[in-house]
Chains A and B, each alone.
Chain A
Amino acid sequence: MNRESLIKKWLDHDLSPQELEEFKQLEDYQDLANLDESIKGFKADSITTDEALNSVWQTIRSQKTSTNRLVSVLSKIAAVLVIGFGIFYFTTTLDTTSSTLVAQQEQIQLPDASEVQLNAMSTLSFNSSKWDDNRSVTLSGEAFFKVAKGKKFDVITDAGTVSVLGTQFNVKYRNDYFEVTCYEGKVAVITNMKSTTLLAGDSFLILDGKYIATEKENRLNPSWLNHVSTFKSMPFKEVLAEFERQYEVEIEDTNIDKSQKFTGSFTHNDIEIALKSITLPLQLKYSKTDNIITLKRD
């Protein structure tokens, strides 16, 4: 057998014992054996298959969960954005509402230069985001409006709508009582019963479902702005109701004809004087215990 095929067989680990002897007789056998010995030193790092397999599984699983994690992170971000936009949208389109308590007045600045003075126990709401297109406020209670010039301005109450172009007027809506008084400019009042236009000094009153003609108003603004409530031929029960709104009291009124008319005023600042103001003209007596006021005939 020639030298080359011997070496090849040796390389292929395929020598028979007899051939091996032959191979060892080669002149460069020692050389080859040395080389072979040294080559073995270049052995690759050994790997532990099980460990490597475990780490492969770990990588595979962590990749799976990491995509899951990515999805969950993204969905969290999305949720925050949705909620954020939701709140943003909700709050910007939400009506702004102002309410007053008993004996409280509040001045409200509308998105344009218009001003509203809100009397006690009243609620006013408006939408500031749509203000440019739609100047309208919803009112329950009593308020005095100084409307800046501009487009139509609506005051919506359950009893009717008051539309103006730029003026000063007072709207009072309490239960069966709906009164609009125009102090300046021109005001349109639209109710189910009657629609009319008020000029400065005109008043419009619906009481217990009936339209009531009223005298010309010659004040420049409603008296309540100066903490005085004024009545002209009003049923006494309306006076008492207003009194309860301005002082935190309850009025017990046995034996009194509450439909009798009252003309006069009471202050918001001194309950004793106020009580005298409303009782003396009608020859009534009053007694006061804590927050309960009892009215009696003289």
Chain B
Amino acid sequence: MAKPLNDNICEEQLFSSIFKKYSKDLHDFLYYKFGSQLNPQDKMQEAFVKLWENCAKVPANKAKSFLFTTANNMMLNEYAHQKVVLKHRQIKPKHSTNLTPEFLLQEKQYQEKLERALANLTDAQRVAFLMNRVEGKRFKEIAELLGISTKAVEKRIYGALKKLREDIDEL
């Protein structure tokens, strides 16, 4: 965070700016941690509504951790140990020209393997790894969002990469 915000977040202006700052990260965090089937966008919005309800009690510099904790808890309430399913969006890289049926089949198998391997990661690994790889965030940014050290993020992401590659080779 650039500077600690000490104002009252019951101000609509400030609340909106907090929303713009964290809504996407919060959504992505929920998505990568719990998958799409638990409606991460709804939970993200609910968390902000909760933040508004508690705006008098939560100082602005604690808003981020309040949001992440609240949303995480709401998810956990519904989670009930379901297996995480991450939908693959099949956004093909534009430059893949050799679209032989054989290649496509290989590709499909690969995606399925990847899907399973991702689900096999721990929640912590998957969140950090996907935020890094998909959202293009640097270790430091992720560390700030999750409230952990950069070193820990590095460990999670590198560990995730290793585990993924092992799993894919195995499968």
Contacts and interface: CB of A to CB of B under 8 A. Distances in A.
Interface of A: 4, 7-8, 11-14, 31, 34-45, 47, 49, 52-53, 55-56, 59-60, 63
Contact of A35 (B23, B24, B114): B114
A44 B20 contact: no
Contacts of B136: 13
A30 to B, nearest CB: 13
Interface in B24-38: 24, 27-28, 31-32, 36
Interface centre among A13, A40, A44 (most CB of B within 10 A): A44
Query: Chain A contact residues: over half helix, strand or loop, or mixed?
Result: helix
15 contacts: A7-B158, A12-B138, A35-B164, A36-B133, A39-B134, A42-B87, A42-B114, A42-B134, A43-B89, A44-B28, A44-B134, A47-B24, A53-B20, A53-B23, A56-B45
Contacts of B115: 42
Contact of A42 (B86, B110, B161): B86
A39 B114 contact: yes
Contacts of A41: 88-91, 111
Contacts of B52: 56, 60
A14 to B, nearest CB: 7
Contacts of A53: 16, 19-20, 23
Interface of B: 16, 19-20, 23-24, 27-28, 31-32, 36, 40-41, 44-45, 48-49, 52-53, 86-91, 93, 110-111, 114-115, 118, 130, 132-136, 138-139, 154, 157-158, 161, 164-165, 168
Contacts of A56: 19, 45, 48-49, 52
Given A44-B36, A49-B20, A56-B48, 13 more contacts: A11-B154, A12-B132, A13-B138, A35-B165, A35-B168, A38-B110, A38-B114, A41-B111, A44-B28, A47-B44, A53-B16, A60-B52, A60-B53
Contacts of B138: 12-14
A275 B79 CA distance: 101
Closest 8 pairs between A and B when the two form their complex, measured CB to CB: A44-B31, A39-B133, A44-B28, A41-B88, A56-B48, A12-B139, A53-B19, A42-B86
Contacts of B28: 44
A13 B41 CA distance: 28
Contact of B93 (A4, A8, A12, A37): A37
Nearest to B90: A41
Nearest to B28: A44
A44 B32 contact: yes
Nearest to B48: A56
A260 B36 CA distance: 110
A40 B49 contact: no
A44 B44 CA distance: 13
Given A37-B93, A47-B27, A55-B45, A8 B130 contact: no
A40 B134 contact: yes
Contacts of A34: 110
A45 B41 contact: yes
A35 B111 CA distance: 9
Contact of A43 (B91, B111, B114): B91
Contact of B40 (A38, A44, A63): A44
A63 B49 contact: yes
Given A39-B114, A44-B28, A49 B134 contact: no
A11 B161 contact: yes
A7 B32 CA distance: 22
A27 to B, nearest CB: 13
A60 B49 CA distance: 6
A233 B133 CA distance: 123
A110 B47 CA distance: 69
B160 to A, nearest CB: 9
Contacts of A63: 49
A147 to B, nearest CB: 70
